[in-house]
Amino acid sequence: MPAASGSKEAMDVKHAEFMKSSAHPQECPPPERPEYAFIGRSNVGKSSLINMLTNRNSLAKISSTPGKTQLINHFVIDEDREKNGAPASWYLVDLPGFGYAKVSKSSRVKWQRTSEQFLKSRPNLMCVMMLLDSRHSPQKVDLEFMEWMGENQLPFVMVFTKVDKLNLEERASFLPKYEAEMLKRWHRMPPVYVTSAEKGEGRDEVLRFIEQTNALFEAP
Ligand X SMILES: Nc1nc2c(ncn2[C@@H]2O[C@H](COP(=O)(O)OP(=O)(O)OP(=O)(O)O)[C@@H](O)[C@H]2O)c(=O)[nH]1
Residues in touch with ligand X (CB under 6 A):
42-48, 64, 97, 161-162, 164-165, 196-198
* Inter-CA distances, 150 with 5, 127, 158, 159, 167, Å: 26, 12, 13, 16, 32
- Give the CA angle between residues 150, 202, 95 to the nearest 5°: 45
**CA 88 to chain centroid:** 18
The residue among 88 and 159 lying less far from ligand X, judged by its C-beta, is: 159
- Shortest Cβ 87–ligand X spacing (Å): 29
Nearest one of 42, 9, 24 to 131, comparing CA atoms: 42
- Shortest Cβ 44–Mg ion spacing (Å): 9
- Shortest Cβ 216–ligand X spacing (Å): 28
Binders of Mg ion among residues 54 to 83 (CB under 5 A) are 64
- Shortest Cβ 183–ligand X spacing (Å): 26
Candidate residues 21, 47, 114, 195; the one interacting with Mg ion per rule CB under 5 A:
47
Binders of Mg ion among residues 82 to 141 (CB under 5 A) are none
Nearest one of 140, 190, 132, 139 to 161, comparing CA atoms: 132
The residue among 22 and 70 lying less far from ligand X, judged by its C-beta, is: 70
CA distance 98 to 147: 15
To 10 degrees, what angle do helices 46-54 and 203-214 make? Answer: 70
The residue among 43 and 84 lying less far from ligand X, judged by its C-beta, is: 43
- Residue 21 sits in the site that holds Mg ion (CB under 5 A): no
Q: Which residues bind Mg ion (CB under 5 A)?
A: 46-47, 64
